[in-house]
Structure 1
Amino acid sequence: MSHIHLCWELGGGLGHAGRLKMLAQALLARGHRVTLSLRDLMSTHALLADSDVPKLQAPVWLHDAVGLPPSGNLAEIVFHCGYLEPAALRGMVAGWRDLFAVLQPDLVVGDFAPTALLAARSMGLRSASVGNGFFSPPPGQPLPAWQQGVEARLISSEARMLATANAMLAEFGAQPYQHAAEVFLGDLPLLCTWPELDHCELRCDAEWFGPSFAAEGGLPPYWPEAAGEGRKVFAYLKASHRAHGAVLKALLEEGCRVLAYVPEVAAGAMPPVLDERIVYADAPVSLPFALAEADLCVCHAGEATLAQSLLAGVPLLMLPSHTEQFLTARRVAMLGAGYNAALLTPDSDWRAALQPLLSDDSYRNAARAFAARHQGFSQQQMNAVLAERLEHLLV
């Protein structure tokens, strides 16, 4: 039996914790000891409550980096988390090293956890990464860029990030990274997405395992009955998105029956729209059951919700809130299985955006074609394969 420590350091939402939960279950089933370190213990508590593994607070960056331009690649994202200067990163690396010294893991697995992987390398610990294409860049290549016209700046940023990481490794006599992408990958990168959803559109010769998410659990869906035969729409929206109320209002104006999970409303906030044709869930909803009945899914293009919607053959209206979600939404729009509403504002004509999704069969046909291509996909089988690959590092 080996001790495998799973880490989540950067990024938001429940997708990271859900992926690690599924992987932990597969590793436990194979007789390994598993521990977790999580960026957010509060929001993940309910999701992980039935996981009988120790859950620890991950070392996380708590300071604002001011004066930086909008991030154009992964290097500039981690500039906000200590990678501008070795002096800033030193405390974070020390925190991870102390954690590993106490836990004594045989293998460290990071989910968007570059500093955890760096600390593991500095200690001679074997490491791996799991994650989607956004924070799993192609090895041996320049970091993917999502801004145009600033190529020189991005090259400089990548070099600076790599120099900062290598300065930390030099302090502990560890082997330096040769490429910036290695900071995010560990000894064994496991790419948890499909080619159609891969943020890096030019990736070649990769092994795509498929998205990993925790599909079980959640409330049974309950649809409003007052709207009769109106289309059923499942909406997972956050109040932090300025247009969430405008979208719900437009759905009602289109005669839809809406089942909405808005975390802030579930926590006691006032609903943005009150109507007998909309039900607000008190807790996360069982997506497999809700999407089995839905005609449309409205979400922020988070990986878990989006993947499950496509596997159910349900088209999407996507309201991305940050770069990773925008790139995912763009990929789905390219497939013809949804509409990327990133450029719309609260004052936009949301009914005009919704009407084709509700009436044009091409969107549903594209979503169903996606589902057919991946028919038979099994989370349990995929995570068993991931666990087997991780075991190869322990030999």
Structure 2
Amino acid sequence: MSRILFAWELGGNLGHITRQLPIARQLRRMGHQVFFVVRDTAAAAQLLTPEGFAYAQAPVNVDKKRLPHPVNYAEILIASGYADPAVLLGLVQGWISLIRLFKADIIVVDHAPTALVAARLTGLPAITIGTGFEIPPGHLPLPSIRPWEFIPTDRLLRAEQYVLERLNALATPLHGGTLERITDLFQGARKVLATFAELDHYGIREGENYVGPIYTGSTGHAITWHLIDKPHVFAYLRPDAPGFENLLEALSKLSAEIIVVAPGTKPAHIQAFAKPNLRILTQPVQTEQLFKMTDCAVTTGGAGTVSQCLLAGIPLLLLPQNVEQFLMGLRVEALGAGIAVRNNRQEHDFAWLLEDVLNKSRYRQSAQAFAQQYAGYEPGCTIDKVIQLIDNTLKTSACSDMNAS
């Protein structure tokens, strides 16, 4: 059996681990050894510790200097430490050390570009999984992630050239080959676009194989709706989301039953806003059955939650906290299945938007049309495809090693 390393380096919240976890479970059942390297060990403690998976902290840039608003994937890398040759060398060497310490046979990457660099330099087979945002299209220049702004083409080109110069400077001391494009990292790995084409943050890419999202609706506590004769609103949020308290005020005044799942919410907030028709929970809940009677969902725009809601025909009110989530909001709006909140996050704004999504049939009709288009989709089938890809990659690598010897 093989030793399989799962890597997560950039991005926040639980979505990256929840996408990796069902794959890791199946691989472990098959007898493989699985190890995680994660950006957020608190998230790992919540999701991986109960499952008995071992994990370690990913190499991360501790420099607090940040590019305020990256405009493409290259600038995301610059903001993550690639601007400083010493920082980048340390990140890459850190990943190489983890690969060698675990004696990995393959690495499965989810938003971990520096792990891909390390895999390339060590000759380790790699598979990269992403929703679209984490795997940019191979355009020259790398496209803007702020399509609502005018970004000069020269800036986009300079950012990629800047990153390439720093990556290629590592090639000689670390005995690796140079890159012509940043996206060569993804071409060197087996790529899995784990999303639907309509929900690709960059827009639909012709010729790409979209395998569909990976998520689980069965993890967490089992809960049910209590009120049969009221609309049902489900919210999955973070308490640090801008306007969170205003949203709770607006939700509490709806003539509906509301369940809010908000990990990290302070007990004082729960006591202040909880009502007979409003429950505020801090632990994950099972949504598979819950969504069968949900009339509206409120969330930040994570790909897994959005996909699951649309597959259940549920219209969405999205409160994006970052550019990735806002791009997802634009995709949902393009489908006509919901609204992405902009800057106005006062209580009366939320009240109007909630009533709009709940009561205007066009949002539900669009969400139901999406659900009908992908009726019968099962995340388990996508997981099986990824498992098969991992298995084939391991076999190909083993054959190459035998031929080389």
TM-score normalised per structure 1: 0.93
Q: Secondary structure at the match of 1:214?
A: coil
- Bigger mean CA deviation after superposition, 137-146 or 15-24: 137-146
Structure 1 residue identity aligned to 2:340? N
Equivalent pair of 1:65/1:79 in contact (CA under 8 Å): no
Contact 1:315 1:337 in 2 (8 A): yes
Q: Is the 1:224–1:279 Cα contact (8 Å) retained in structure 2?
A: no
| Paired amino acid for 1:237 | L
Rounded Cα–Cα distance in structure 1 between residues aligned with 2:186 and 2:247? 36
2:183 is paired with a residue whose SS is helix
Conservation of the 8 A alpha-carbon contact between 2:144 and 2:151: no
Moved more, 26-35 or 370-379: 26-35
Equivalence map 1:182-197=2 (5 Å): 182-183=184-185, 186-197=188-199
Is the contact made by 2:48 and 2:54 (CA closer than 8 Å) also made in structure 1?
A: no
- Which residue number in structure 2 is paired with residue 229 of structure 1? 229
Matched with 1:179 is 181
Deviations 1:57-106 (A, max 9, x none): 2222222124x341101111121221113222111111111111111111
Q: Is the 8 A contact 1:2 1:32 kept in 2?
A: yes
Aligned to 2:164: 162
Shift of 1:276: 2.8
Corresponding position of 2:47:
47
Q: Partner residue of 1:118?
A: 117
User: Structure 1: which 5+ residue stretches go unaligned?
Assistant: none
Alignment of 1:3-152 (within 5 A): 3-66=3-66, 68-139=67-138, 141-147=140-146, 148-152=150-154
* CA distances 1:145-198 after superposition (whole Å, capped 9, x unpaired): 123233221211111112212222332121112211234564211111110100
Counterpart Cα distance in 2 of 1:173 and 1:213: 38
Q: Secondary structure at the match of 2:264?
A: helix
Task: Call closer, same or farther: CA 1:208–1:269 in 2, change over 3 Å.
Answer: farther
Paired amino acid for 2:163: M
User: How far, CA to CA, are the matches of 2:187 and 2:283 in structure 1?
Assistant: 34
1:211 aligned onto 2:213: yes
| Structure 1 CA distance for aligned equivalents of residues 369 and 92 of structure 2 | 45
Match of 2:310 in 1: 310
Is contact 1:165–1:183 with CA below 8 Å preserved after alignment? no
Give CA-to-partner distance per residue, 1:204-242, whole Å, 9 cap, x none. Answer: 2000011112332212224465xx733110111222122
Match of 2:51, SS state, is: coil
Could you say what secondary structure the match of 1:264 adopts? coil
Q: CA deviation at 1:140?
A: 6.1
Counterparts of 1:14 and 1:135 in 2: how far apart (Å)?
A: 15
Cα deviation for residue 248 of structure 1 reads 2.5
Following TM superposition, by how much is the alpha carbon of 1:382 offset from its aligned partner in structure 2, in angstroms?
1.0
- For the 8 Å contact 1:83–1:89, the answer to whether it is kept is yes
Q: Does the residue aligned with 1:43 lie in a helix, a strand or coil?
A: helix
Q: How many residues align?
A: 391
CA distance change for structure 1 residues 250 and 5 in 2, over 3 Å: closer, same or farther?
same
Deviation (angstroms), 1:388: 0.9
Cα shift at 1:329: 0.8
Distance 1:166 1:79, change over 3 A: same
Q: 1:141 to 1:155 in 2, by over 3 A?
A: closer
Q: Quick check: 1:287–1:305 contact (8 Å CA) kept in 2? A: no
Provide the C-alpha distance between the structure 1 equivalents of 2:261 and 2:4, rounded to a whole number of angstroms.
34
Match in the other structure for 2:267: 268
Q: Closer, same or farther in 2 for the Cα pair 1:106/1:141, shift >3 Å?
A: farther
Give yes or no for contact 1:337–1:367 (8 Å, CA) kept in 2.
yes
Alignment partners' CA distance in 2, 1:26 and 1:324: 29
Question: How far apart in 1 are the matches of 2:230 and 2:370?
Answer: 25
Identity %: 33
Q: Which moved more, 1:179-188 or 1:204-213?
A: 179-188
In structure 2, C-alpha distance between the alignment counterparts of 1:123 and 1:78, rounded to whole Å: 21
Residue 259 of structure 2 aligns to a residue in which SS? strand
* Equivalent residue number for residue 361 of structure 2: 361
The residue that corresponds to 1:248 in the other structure is: 248
Which amino acid counterpart does residue 94 of structure 1 have in structure 2? Q
Q: Work out the CA distance in 2 between the residues paired with 1:62 and 1:284.
A: 30
Change (3 A) 1:237 1:185: farther
2:162, 2:76 → 1: CA distance? Answer: 12
Cα deviation per residue 1:341-390 (whole Å; 9 max; x = unaligned)? 12322265222212221111111111111111112212222111111112
**Alignment TM-score, normalising by the size of structure 2:** 0.91
Q: Which has the larger displacement, 290-299 or 276-285?
A: 276-285
Contact kept, 8 Å, 2:143 with 2:156, in 1: the verdict is no
Partners of 1:238 and 1:263 within 8 A in 2: yes
